Amino acid sequence: MNNPITGAEILLQSLLNHDVNTIFGYPGSCVMQVLDCLYSRKELMNHILVRHEQGAVHAAQGYAEVSKKVGVALLTSGPGATNTVTGIADAMANAIPIVVITGQVNSNLLGTDAFQEVDIIGITHSITKWVYQVRSAGEISSAIAHAFYIASTGRPGPVLLDITKDAQSEKAMYISQQTSFIRSYNPTQDSEKCEKLTPTDTADMNKNMQNRIIGIMQDMDDDLIIVLDFARLSNLNEPISHEIVKSEKFGTLGFGLPAAIGAKCAAPDKIVCLIVEAAQFQATIEELGVVMQSGIDIKIFLLNHPHEDNPDFIRLVDAYNIKGEVVLEQKYLKKDIQKVLYSKGAFVLEVRI
């Protein structure tokens, strides 16, 4: 006969039951019990420690886009939860299946304005396919099953589960659950993705350089994954033989770096390239800490226009123990791109042409 286990253990077992092996997250007091369980089972579940909660959600998006599975992010309550909103809205706009799990204060403190309590259910209700607050350990397995089914069926999108601390600590019987039907949910009603918008052309300099770099990559025999992060995406030259990951319908500033991290976690044997403008790169530049700490091998092509007042990016990435070089002339671009793609470890090529 099975013995009762904690809600945190039920959560971990439920995620494993849905073939989850990678989670992106950031710690906090309202998820420490879950993180303790993750640490004890780290041979089964890879926890990627991001530097900001928005980065966790974008990484989960990149992972979902490449793996064709549901991406998972685990964050704490209060500001940790509210920092996920941009990523959740992006996933909703771009139909990307993710499950965001947030910790919450004890259920007896709900509505008391307790430290780092926030109504994340109310905040995210309009930008998710489903939100639910779990207040007892016995609900967790069912909530996870519902979350994964809703996130991945019909028009894919984000689901948020908010789990109170006492639900994580109390014990209940674990019952494995998978869901293929919910009476109040009809996935066929929203099975069609929204009509794709035509990307807006930005300055010729950006458009031409983006297409020039991708054009060089088109000649590579390797199966590349290309992540794009521009203020306004320009139309790509057709056809593109490599997989493209981008925030097409939301244009989130800083989507690229964490999404590239998630993409590489989903496809460790493929070359993952990020083509990013300087402003977008700086928006989530703290995630270079993930690249350094977790040894994420991504290739970053950073477009830095000479007239812009930007920091010395090569010195900056060197501080993260990441290789970096600058290309200043068009005639060296192809050779330098090839060098970066076939180098070992993370690499930043600053394109200042």
Span 30-63, pLDDT tens digits: 999 999 999 999 999 999 999 999 999 999 999 9
pLDDT at position 195: 37
User: What is the pLDDT confidence band of residue 205, given thresholds at 50, 70 and 90?
Assistant: low
Highest mean pLDDT among 178-192, 231-245, 326-340: 326-340
Alpha carbons 277 and 282: distance in angstroms, whole number: 9
In the chain, % of residues over pLDDT 90 = 79
Tell me, what's the pLDDT at 327? 95
Percent of the chain beyond pLDDT 70?
A: 92
Range of lowest pLDDT (4-8, 139-143, 181-185): 181-185
Encoded tokens for 208: 């031409």
Beta carbons within 10 angstroms of residue 203's beta carbon: 12
Residue 73: exposure state from Cβ atoms within 10 A (0-12, 13-18, ≥19): buried
d(CA 216, CA 148): 39
Residue 191: is its pLDDT beyond 60?
no
Confidence of residue 315 (pLDDT cuts 50, 70, 90): very high
Asked if the model's pLDDT at residue 2 lies above 90, the reply is: no
CA 8, 161, 258, 21 dihedral sign is: positive
User: What SS3 class is residue 191?
Assistant: coil
pTM over 0.75: yes
Contacts of residue 23, defined as CB under 8 A and 6 or more positions apart, other chains included, come to 15, 38, 45, 46, 47, 48, 72, 73, 74
Which tokens belong to 77?
Answer: 């309550």
